[in-house]
Amino acid sequence: MRLGQYRALLAPASVFTVSLLFFGLFVLLLVVGVLTTGSLPPLGLVLAGVVVFNLLAWLVGPKLNELFMRFVYDIDWVSFDEFERRVGESGARVESICQEQDLDTPKIGIIDDGTPMAMTFGSDHWNARVVYSRGLYELLDPVEFDAVLAHELGHIRNRDFILMTILNTLLQAIFIVYLYCRVLARRADDRAQSLFAAAAVGAYVFYILSKYIQLYVSRTREYGADSFAAEQTSATALSTALVKISYGIAREAETEDEQLSAETEDDSVLESTERRKRYKENIVGPMNIVEIDSTEDKTVGQLMERGETDRARHAMLYDAHSPWARLTELASTHPLTGNRIQALEARHGETIFELERFASRHGDGIETMKRTFWADLRVLAAKYVGAIVGLATTAWLVATGGVAAGPLLLGGGLTVLLYALGSFVEFRRRFPSDDPDRAEVSGLYTYFGASPVRGIPVELDGEFLGRHPAGNRFTPHLTVRDETGFVPTLFASRLGALGRLWKGWRNTGPYVGEDTRVTGWYYRRGSNNVVRQRTVDTSDGGWRSYPRFWFAVKLLLLAVVGAAALAAGLVV
């Protein structure tokens, strides 16, 4: 399961990506065959090949993914006995669920990173893998940790691997039909050409629609796994786990020294503290995990004591009422977190959030989100409107002055400049130059005007919790945590992807655990916050990030090209 964005970012380690790689290879071989022989192989044979490729990917993909994760992620694959030794009663709970559901116990992978995440992949229950990060175990209370693992087992029990592989195969088959129709349209005579062309357009439209249907099915499977976890553990525990991990709203646990200094010298208290210390040494120590002092009989309010329930409600308001949230969900494999929590409330009883009553008290915030959406659309449309005006002017110049170099250069230059002007408006909205607001992580959700397009300048103080995504050895992105929660911060290099890869590989790991101050721009994307770094300061140095660089380069090139064309048109 991707809690929040983490599983989506680990998608390369899923069996479905391996399937796509097999399919891509198959399409390349098909194209090469057509180019070299000039003939198309029988469609039935090609579709049979797609099925065989996906069957192979389904069978061997989990092992390939495991090898891939060993290379890319700082992961330790452990036996189930070792897993039980490390997590205590949670391991016994997983084994009990597997026995009740007639499932084999999964292979366990533990990513050594403080950023929380969990996922599962495999062919079926007989070779399933469940992966989670050290940060997941550190952050959650035991009952919440159990609920997350139960969600992963829900995917295994519901045979989601098989269903999604079948859907993926069908999607690829539709794309093959589209390719055939397009090739045949070029080779056929006039009448047949139009028929094949229409069939190609229809097949491609159906392919696009099928991709969204596949995403919809994936979201319904997430609801099914949530329901399974709620039945096996607790709907409330799963809801609070989603809030902590997806929204990043979770206060830091007290350190052992703080607990000792705050506690009295009562014998029973000292005995309890000693038990926690022995547990840390015998169970948690081998994983270098900070113990969270919690028990399974905690009330709902206690479970969210560190999660700040009102801030969680602010986060869920965006999921429930922002038009951007609804659009982003359409292209996502996972439902919005707020929708998942509301579904758990509807199916398995009330939780502490009561979103509808909270929403009635924050109508102004909801209106701000809607106004922001429409303003974003106008900003995004500005460059296209400018280009259309430029093209219309070009057509008028050609109509009045004839097809000549002068009118074409004048119109073309004007079109490019107007497009650049519209892009500049977008640049200003994405990267405003205002002074940054000092903010807490959980307070970011009260910025109702933030969106995927509109950035809010912010400054955060905290520590680097881990990499983003968790444990990836090559990512330069880091998760910042303060006393109220955590948020991913994204690095941008002037060298593009190569610069990010180099920094992630050579110059990111040593900063994990360091205190930091980060300035940048805050965006709201679906259920998740993200901050694009501008400056980063730590006790061991810092760096600058350049999220505006390539956007500014594009603007400069457009302005130069447009001005040159306009000047040439005036001269001619």
Q: Do strands 486-490 and 515-525 pair parallel, antiparallel, or not at all (unpaired)?
A: unpaired
Decide if pLDDT at 7 tops 70. Answer: no
Residue 469, preceding peptide bond in cis (omega within 30° of 0):
yes
Structure tokens at 323: 């038009």
Instruction: Give phi and psi for 451, each to the nearest 5.
Output: -160, 180
In sequence order, which residues have a C-beta less than 8 Å from that of residue 174 and are 6 or more positions away?
203, 206, 207, 210
| Residue recorded with tokens 């790991």 | 509
Instruction: Check: CB of residue 414 under 8 Å from CB of residue 390.
Output: yes
Type of residue numbered 376: D
What 3-state DSSP class applies to 48? helix
* Tally of CB atoms within 10 A around 496: 12
* C-alpha to C-alpha distance for 116 and 137, rounded to whole angstroms: 8
**Segment 212-263, tens digit of pLDDT:** 988 999 999 999 999 999 999 999 899 999 999 989 887 654 444 444 344 4
**Segment 460-488, tens digit of pLDDT:** 999 999 999 999 999 999 999 999 899 99
pLDDT of residue 40: 72
| Partners of 198 in the β-ladder | none
* C-alpha to C-alpha distance for 529 and 247, rounded to whole angstroms: 7
**Segment 153-168, tens digit of pLDDT:** 999 999 999 988 988 8
CA–CA distances in Å: residue 69 to residues 81, 211, 272, 471, 474 = 22, 26, 39, 10, 12
Q: What average pLDDT does the chain have?
A: 83
* C-alpha to C-alpha distance for 74 and 219, rounded to whole angstroms: 29
CA–CA distances in Å: residue 191 to residues 96, 198, 201, 203, 498 = 65, 11, 16, 19, 50
* Geometric angle at alpha carbon 15, from 9 and 19, rounded to 5°: 110
* C-alpha to C-alpha distance for 515 and 478, rounded to whole angstroms: 12
Average pLDDT over residues 412-423: 95
Max CA distance (Å), the chain: 98
What 3-state DSSP class applies to 518? strand
Structure tokens at 407: 């009118």
Decide if pLDDT at 199 tops 60. Answer: yes
In sequence order, which residues have a C-beta less than 8 Å from that of residue 100 and are 6 or more positions away?
none
* Tally of CB atoms within 10 A around 362: 16
More confident residue, 230 or 4: 230
Choice among 278-282, 387-391, 412-416 with the minimum mean pLDDT: 278-282
| Partners of 532 in the β-ladder | 490, 521
Decide if pLDDT at 283 tops 50. Answer: no
Type of residue numbered 55: L
Cβ burial 555-564 (10 Å sphere, 16+ → b, else e)? beebbeebee
Average pLDDT over residues 1-11: 40
Decide if pLDDT at 29 tops 60. Answer: no
Instruction: Check: CB of residue 137 under 8 Å from CB of residue 76.
Output: no
Structure tokens at 68: 């891939």
* C-alpha to C-alpha distance for 415 and 551, rounded to whole angstroms: 19
* C-alpha to C-alpha distance for 203 and 397, rounded to whole angstroms: 40
Residue of 306, 268, 276 lying closest to 293 (CA atoms): 276
DSSP letters, 166-191, are: HHHHHHHHHHHHHHHHHHHHHHS-HH
More confident residue, 15 or 332: 332
pLDDT of residue 259: 41
Structure tokens at 129: 């893998």
pLDDT of residue 290: 28
- Look at the alpha carbons of 560, 566, 571, 572 in this order and tell me if their dihedral is positive or negative: positive
Global pTM reads 0.81
* C-alpha to C-alpha distance for 193 and 199, rounded to whole angstroms: 10
Q: Which residues are catalytic?
A: 152
* C-alpha to C-alpha distance for 508 and 424, rounded to whole angstroms: 32
304 pLDDT band, cuts 50/70/90, is: low
Residue 142, preceding peptide bond in cis (omega within 30° of 0):
no
9 pLDDT band, cuts 50/70/90, is: very low
Type of residue numbered 73: Y
**Segment 93-133, tens digit of pLDDT:** 999 999 999 999 999 999 999 999 999 999 999 999 999 99
Task: Indicate the angle between helix axes 190-232 and 142-157, nearest 10 degrees.
Answer: 140
161: alpha, beta or left? (left if phi > 0; alpha if psi -120 to 50): alpha
302 pLDDT band, cuts 50/70/90, is: very low
Stated as kind and residue range, the H or E segment containing 492 is none
**Segment 127-156, tens digit of pLDDT:** 999 999 999 999 999 999 999 999 999 999
Decide if pLDDT at 291 tops 60. Answer: no
Decide if pLDDT at 3 tops 60. Answer: no
pLDDT of residue 197: 85
Kindly report the length of the chain: 572
